[in-house]
């Protein structure tokens, strides 16, 4: 399934947040959204996921989700949102319980996603017994359990330390390499964008408009930290954002 954004614009009262955003998110691609603080990245993601409706334009789903998809558009947030009294298995089963699945089928799905995220041995652990990176892996496992057509990822690694972030980027690349998925991925971190994105969409400061779409040619599975080509793309993104990021920071500091 693909997503098509057609001339999406939005205002909150007199504040113009987004303006004339048109974008295709192709099946099997990770599209990263970057831009200055307050440019409307997370707002745009809410429109993509149907949590809100834009004032103007529309988001169109093109094609059908996978036949086994229980929730075509599924979020992974910055904060893990795990229930502390439920085990890893219990947290994943939470999203399966209203779909009329048998206990055996739910166990099969949980086993599969735990294997894919390398969490099998922690099936009965409680969230408090896990590191931050492992808790986010549980959140990713929970999202994968419903076989989404599109993953909507809102700063999923920003609460983690740099070492854990690097490990989870490797995990996400591994997941995509074994079974490609479609994702819209919001981040402030340009290193994440060039490591994970097939395309990086650069938004202007408010109201957010598309300034540029940067293609990352290196195959996802071949990207490594310190790669000169990725560093060049990261520098290119920063040059596109630098002046507007500084201006947006000044605006926010006076709010």
pLDDT tier for residue 138 given thresholds of 50, 70 and 90 = very high
CA distance 82 to 109: 18
**pLDDT tens track for 230-241:** 999 999 999 888
pTM for the whole thing?
A: 0.90
pLDDT higher than threshold 90 for residue 152: yes
Read off the pLDDT band of 28 (50, 70, 90).
very high
The model's pLDDT over 62-105, given as tens digits with 9 standing for 90+, comes to: 988 888 889 999 999 878 789 999 999 999 999 999 999 999 99
Which CATH superfamily is 2-253 part of? P-loop containing nucleotide triphosphate hydrolases (3.40.50.300)
Query: What is the pLDDT averaged over residues 18-24?
Result: 96
């Amino acid at each position: 399934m693909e997503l098509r954004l057609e001339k999406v614009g939005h205002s909150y009262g007199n504040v113009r947040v987004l303006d004339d955003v048109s974008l295709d998110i192709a099946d099997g691609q990770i599209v990263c959204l970057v831009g200055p603080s307050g440019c409307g990245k997370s707002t745009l993601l809410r429109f993509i996921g149907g949590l809100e409706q834009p004032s103007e334009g529309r988001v169109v789903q093109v094609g059908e989700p996978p036949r086994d998809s229980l929730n075509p558009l599924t979020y992974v947030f910055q904060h893990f949102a795990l229930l502390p009294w439920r085990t890893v298995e219990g947290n994943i089963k939470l999203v399966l319980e209203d779909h009329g699945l048998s206990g055996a089928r739910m166990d099969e799905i949980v086993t599969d996603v735990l294997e894919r995220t390398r969490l099998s041995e922690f099936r009965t652990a409680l969230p408090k017994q896990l590191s931050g990176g492992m808790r986010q892996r549980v959140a990713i496992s929970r999202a994968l359990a419903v076989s989404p057509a599109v993953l909507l990822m809102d700063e999923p690694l920003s609460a983690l330390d740099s070492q854990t972030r690097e490990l989870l980027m490797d995990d996400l690349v591994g997941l995509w390499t074994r079974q490609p998925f479609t994702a819209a991925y919001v981040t402030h971190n340009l290193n994440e964008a060039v490591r994970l994105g097939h395309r990086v969409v650069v938004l202007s400061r408010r109201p957010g408009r598309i300034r540029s779409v940067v293609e990352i040619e290196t195959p996802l599975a071949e990207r490594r930290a310190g790669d000169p080509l990725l560093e060049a793309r990261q520098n290119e993104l920063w040059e596109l954002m630098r002046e507007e990021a500084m201006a947006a920071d000044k605006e926010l500091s006076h709010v």
